[in-house]
Amino acid sequence: MSVVILISGRGSNLRALLDSGVPVAAVISNQAGAPGLAIAAQHGVETRVVEHKAYASREAFDAALAAEIERFAPRLVVLAGFMRVLTPGFVAHFAGRLINIHPSLLPAFPGLDTHARALAAGVKLHGCTVHFVTADLDHGPIIAQAAVPVLADDTVERLAARVLAQEHSVLPRAVRWFLDGRLVIAGGRVHVKGDDAQLVLSARP
């Protein structure tokens, strides 16, 4: 039931997954200097670097990345702060076993700068989403979400910190649901088997 995690930076969601006991086989980054690689090494997890700048095209990079992932024969691949747009071929190869954590309540604010855009839009709730990855950026079937209120005196940094705390909670839960065989996709929507399933976590200050 191994998991491969893809990162590009600090690895805070990676740490949350490791601390929760998720069986991580390897951590792969497209950035050799990603701090998250050190977190993985501290937990005794194998690390690999596949630098996108070393490849002439997105397709070539994704092919190399997919080959490295498959060395570990993972049941699930998790994008935990992996800052690359993946090609349709890569997504199709891992269809149904590729999930992402995104810092907004999708379908609102796909893409980058989600916290600044949420503040600019004047929304009252913001949060994060775990979803299956499809060829449409940040639009795959939603597994779980967690919401936080947007406060009157919020800055991007304050709002981002509260959302990140919820990411650390909701992502390990979603991964466990997957590994336990509790996720069912029907009609483009995700259903979680079991009476304790809660797809939307409560809004928190």
- Answer with the one of 94, 122, 154 that is the final residue of a domain: 94
Residues 83 and 155 in one domain: no
Domain carrying residue 84: 1-94
Whether residue 115 lies in the annotated active site:
no
Residues 205 and 115 in one domain: yes
Mean pLDDT across the chain:
94
- Statement: residue 190 has pLDDT above 80: yes
- The answer to whether 185 touches 7, Cβ cutoff 8 Å, is no
**β-bridge partners, 102:** 129
Residues 57 and 144 in one domain: no
Residues 74 and 133 in one domain: no
Residues 147 and 70 in one domain: no
Residues 120 and 184 in one domain: yes
d(CA 74, CA 3): 5
- Answer with the one of 35, 62, 94 that is the final residue of a domain: 94
Strand, coil or helix: 74: coil
* pLDDT value for 10: 96
Residues 109 and 90 in one domain: no
- The answer to whether 61 touches 55, Cβ cutoff 8 Å, is yes
- Answer with the one of 94, 118, 134 that is the final residue of a domain: 94
Residues 42 and 77 in one domain: yes
Q: What is the mean pLDDT of residues 136-152?
A: 95
Q: How many domains does the chain have?
A: 2
Q: What is the mean pLDDT of residues 69-98?
A: 97
**Which stretches within the chain are classed as H helix?**
12-19, 35-42, 58-70, 88-93, 114-121, 156-179
Residues 62 and 83 in one domain: yes
The candidate with the shortest Cα–Cα distance to 104, out of 90, 85, 121, is 121
Q: What is the mean pLDDT of residues 12-33?
A: 97
- Of the residues 102, 115, 131, 168, which is catalytic? 102
Residues 90 and 118 in one domain: no
Please report how many Cα atoms fall inside a 13 Å half-sphere around the Cα of residue 29, on the Cβ side: 20
pLDDT in tens, 156-181: 999 999 999 999 999 999 999 999 99
- Statement: residue 82 has pLDDT above 80: yes
pLDDT in tens, 112-139: 999 999 999 999 999 999 999 999 999 9
CATH code: domain of residue 61: 3.40.50.170
Residues 106 and 17 in one domain: no
Residues 17 and 72 in one domain: yes
* pLDDT value for 194: 81
**Count of beta carbons in the 10 Å neighbourhood of residue 155:** 12
